[in-house]
Chain A
Amino acid sequence: MDNDFAVLTAIHWGAVLFYSLAAMANTWGIIFQKEKVERVSYHPLVVGLLVHGCGILFWWHVVGHGPYLARDEILSAMAWGTVVVFWAFCKPFPAIRPASILVFPAAILMIALGIFFSPSIKLLPPTYRGVWLVLHVVFYIISLATIVIALALSLGYVLKKRKDYGWLVRLPDLESIDMFAYRFVGFGFVFWLIAMLAGSVWAYDSWGRFWGWDPVETWSLITLGAYGVYLHLRRFFGLKGEQAAVFFILCFVISIVSLFFVPLLESSIHSEYFR
């Protein structure tokens, strides 16, 4: 068993190494406007994803369940998911590539926090089974990835509006950044709601009730409500630009509290998650 922990930690450190190389090259390429360096930075990223993916599969085999119980495995899965989703969205939306300046370090931070919390084996409680649980977790990971991208774009907007750094020309024009931020918040809202609905169906199957107002569920609904207000302000009240960016950053903070802090601080029927 100690060997398994050692192997997992080593694999994660390997992934961190490749992600760090990718992040350094990527940041260098964007800031110093070296397009070739920025393009090449995706090579160590792909290697890192493969190494990281192997680590997740290895641990899955060891504990007998997917990465949705212990803190370290959740952070690891979210890091991997964030990078994969970002990479996937770069194909249809190449203009968002400069958001990597935040996305890559965010992934490194999540893995590092996971390693800091030390791998632990949490055995699957009887009700933590079924396809709806898998969908619930997967959609939350995708939602987190899209809102991290939206955060990068919102911060990019504020920076580009207020500062005059040379490298900011690599970002799209302000109007486009604003549009992409709006769109990615929309994606985040949709995936968050689908994740909540999948969770409700799983709860109904497991516990006989699809909503119980427990703290994790309540905070998830608060987050969804905040995003709903943002989208309606955007659509109907012309909220845009810097105001929209700042409002979204507040929504992002609420999301992080909902995903990572509420399960730690409150007792909940989700008590096995993230503790």
Chain B
Amino acid sequence: MRSSIKRKLLSRRTVLFLMLILLASVVLSYLVPQQISLSKVQLLQWQQAHAKWMPLIEFFGLHHLFTSYWFFSLLVLFLIAMLVAVYDQARSAYRRTFSGLAEQKTFKNEVLGGQFSCTQSEEELSQVMKRNGYLLLAGNDLDINRYVKHPWGEWGVFFLHLGMLIIISAALFVVAKGGRSVGTLVEGDIRLPDASWVFEEKGLFADSLHFPAAMRLNRVTPQFWPQGSLKSLSSGITFVSPQGKTADLSVSLDQVLNYQGMRIYQHSRFGAVFFVVLTDPQGKRGQVDLDLADPFGGGKASYGDFDFIGIPYHIRARYYADAEKKSPVSDNPLLSLRLMDKGKVVGEVSLKKGEKGRLGPYEAHLAGVVRWSDYAFLKTTGMAGVFVGFFVFALGSGLYYFTPPRAIYCRKIGDGFVLSWKGSRFNQHYVNEFQMVRAGLSRGKSDG
């Protein structure tokens, strides 16, 4: 029963079938938008446009193909088949590298290059072989010696597939055990260890991400190219551990921060929070915090729409990074506010830091502006496995494609030897080596 299962798993049709079906799944993931790559609104729009396909898509979970049970089962089956194949390849490579007697049968079936006989001694023969890179690997009691060039090439297929197996397994482990969360920090604010995340995703076997320290964002520092695109973005953060130890560290877009086993990434999303104090005609004051993304350019603006409980109007905001509209980075931004009542403009005002102005029935005062940014927090284990798999795969590829093994069999007949050649792959390219050995032996004989 075990050998029958093994045979089925190693069967060429099984391997090809699994590969084709996995490939078809990937193609399908491109044709049917995945939940992870679209917003809810975009996904809904696509679903409405393809309503007749939805029952099928929902049944097979095609919108989250890579987390569906059938895909996971397929992947597990593929991995099992690969594991069995790798084991089988290791045994086969060992047998081909070290066996001698088993090769006797192949002697009669030389592949290319014919046979020739020579009358040199075994020692002279060995020297010519060695000069041409052929090492004596096996002999048997039927007087057949096997000289092999690049015997390690037999292990190429094994290492190549082992590398792929390690990479896939490590990747699945990273995904299953890893967690990724996104949090927003505002300059000057302190984020406590148990604060909630803006976004969180975690693997099947991962716990919720808990960041052990309190954090205070001190400064967000963007830099722009003259043309307006982002050159760099860095943040200075103070961490306070549960033991009370503080650490002032920085993180930037091209420099990950490692802190107590967690990787912290600077997100490219950043902007400004405007603290606007609104005073109504009765003198009642309230503060609204308007959170806007950076406009990425001196002359460009970013926009936001806001509704607040207690304010019967809709607020539209426009933010210029620089009140002069010249520089993409400035300590003097310009905030323009528009108060809307059922689509009608009730009031408008533009304010710089500290300024006051009339906004419809309110007096608006821009009390302060600070920057905010998003950060990704990652806890993963298993990346080392991906690197190891990478190395093993590269090794296997090199062995398979650059060092295919080839053998010369020398059978003792009378006072001399009859030689024949056999290659494992790409034979036409290497058969000339046999003629070079023959030429070497002929030269040796005439010199002698």
Using a CB–CB cutoff of 8 Å, the interface residues on chain A facing chain B are 93, 95, 123-127, 129-130, 175-176, 179-180, 182-183, 186-187, 190, 193-194, 197, 200-201, 204-215, 218-219, 221-222, 225-226, 228-229, 232-233, 236-237
Contacts and interface: CB of A to CB of B under 8 A. Distances in A.
Contact of B386 (A176, A210, A219): A210
A214 B30 CA distance: 9
B401 A126 contact: no
B30 A218 contact: yes
Nearest to A180: B429
B387 A201 contact: yes
Interface stretch (B47-55, B250-258, B307-315): B250-258
A229 B230 contact: no
B426 interface: yes
B59 interface: no
Given A179-B428, A201-B390, A218-B29, 10 more contacts: A123-B227, A126-B232, A126-B268, A190-B394, A193-B393, A194-B393, A208-B376, A225-B23, A225-B26, A236-B12
A126 B27 contact: no
16 contacts: A123-B229, A125-B229, A126-B233, A126-B254, A175-B428, A194-B394, A197-B390, A200-B386, A210-B171, A210-B174, A213-B34, A219-B30, A225-B23, A228-B23, A229-B16, A232-B12
Contact of B180 (A180, A209, A237): A209
B15 interface: yes
Contacts of B227: 123
Contact of B19 (A190, A200, A210, A232): A232
A38 B225 CA distance: 49
Interface string B229-248: 11111000000000000000
Interface string B365-400: 000000000001010000100110010011001001
Contacts of B142: none
A257 to B, nearest CB: 11
Contacts of A236: 12, 15-16
B74 interface: no
Interface in B423-447: 426-429
B44 interface: no
Nearest to A183: B426
A222 B27 CA distance: 7
B378 A197 contact: no
A229 B252 contact: no
A63 to B, nearest CB: 11
B16 A201 contact: no
B113 to A, nearest CB: 14
B22 interface: yes
Given A197-B390, A208-B376, A229 B23 contact: yes
